[in-house]
Amino acid sequence: MDELVREVLEEEGWIVGGAVRDELLGRPVLDLDVACADPRGTAIAYARRFGGAAFSLSERHGAWRVAVGGDEHTVDFTPLPGGGIEADLGSRDFTFNAIAARVGTREILDPFGGRADLEARVVRAVSGTVFVDDPLRLLRAVRFEDELDFRMDERTEALLRGAAPLVTRAAGERILAELDRLSADGYRRLADVGLLEPLGGELDGRLEALDDPAFRLVAVFRNRVTRFPISNELRRYALTLLRATRPEGPSPREIHRFRRQTEPWALEALAFIGATELAGPVEGSRRADPAEPLVRGDELGLEPGPEIGRILAAIDEERAAGTISSREDALVLARSLAREAGVA
């Protein structure tokens, strides 16, 4: 785990946090967190020696990161506090994250019994103030339960329940990152321990309609999801699902209208509104999509304007419904619609 770090580290250094935990669990270790005396110098030396980009994570805290392979692998270098590695571990969240491995040796420092808790599959707080010190840890506790199939001990769960109202104080981006990693069971656990309500979420039967993180986020928070700092793509996805209405039936016309309203997320929208029985017609409609339109806007002989878009949409719908099938049919329909709209 530490062979590369050892080549550039000139003074004492410790691998800490998730890397040690995951190695003890036999899980893949992709990212390292190294506590050392000179984070900046060690990060720059590591980047020069093994490639990658070194940059400051926090000027206030003195942390540096080296990203290798386009962020596929990162090594974080953080300063050892004045109290040394023991003080570092004492400031961490859970006992299994408060284990350190000295770089270049097999020495393991485990002052809080983290290895025993890994074996017992327990999420245990290092101190009584872990959630007050950093409210994001409230979500992390549930996420670790969910990902690792662990359970909080009674004291930790009591601390979490008591601090649950603080969950909204965490940064929105970091809250989203934790929620993105939760399964349906994880969301149910959030509700159970009192974390979901302060965040504005609630559970219903849609939670398990689709196994997808973005879908779960919308299913749980619905229109309140836009309060989070979500991406534009996720915002469009959420609004599409929230505005979706059930087709009146499986006819080609109804399915075409539904797809116009919801694509490229028509199947996800069906799951959201509880109409998955229409997935077959939607998939069949997708396969039948023509490669080319019957007619283009500049072929209608009309002045540019919004009416052209409405006429083209009507042509597409009638084609999907099977009432027209040729360019000539489309032009006849277009002329009729243009006269009705007074733009012929």
pLDDT, tens digit, for every residue of 178-233? 999 999 999 999 999 999 999 999 999 999 999 999 999 999 999 999 999 999 99
222, HSE (Cβ side, Cα atoms, 13 Å) = 12
- Same domain assignment for residues 199 and 238: yes
129 part of a folded domain: yes
290 part of a folded domain: no
Question: In sequence order, what E strands does the chain have?
Answer: 13-16, 32-36, 53-58, 63-68, 73-79, 100-102, 108-109, 122-123, 151-152
292 part of a folded domain: no
291 part of a folded domain: no
- Same domain assignment for residues 98 and 147: no
pTM: 0.88
Higher-confidence residue of 70 and 258: namely 258
> How many structural domains are present in the chain?
4
- Same domain assignment for residues 128 and 195: yes
Last residue of a domain, one of 65, 96, 115: 115
Distances (CA, A) of 318 to 103, 250, 328, 340: 70, 15, 13, 17
Q: Which domain holds residue 128?
A: 121-242
How confident is residue 74, by pLDDT bands cut at 50, 70 and 90? confident
| CB 92 within 8 Å of CB 42 | no
- Same domain assignment for residues 161 and 220: yes
- Same domain assignment for residues 256 and 313: no
- Same domain assignment for residues 150 and 80: no
- Same domain assignment for residues 223 and 271: no
pLDDT digits (tens, 9 = 90+) for 322-331: 999 999 999 9
- Same domain assignment for residues 92 and 127: no
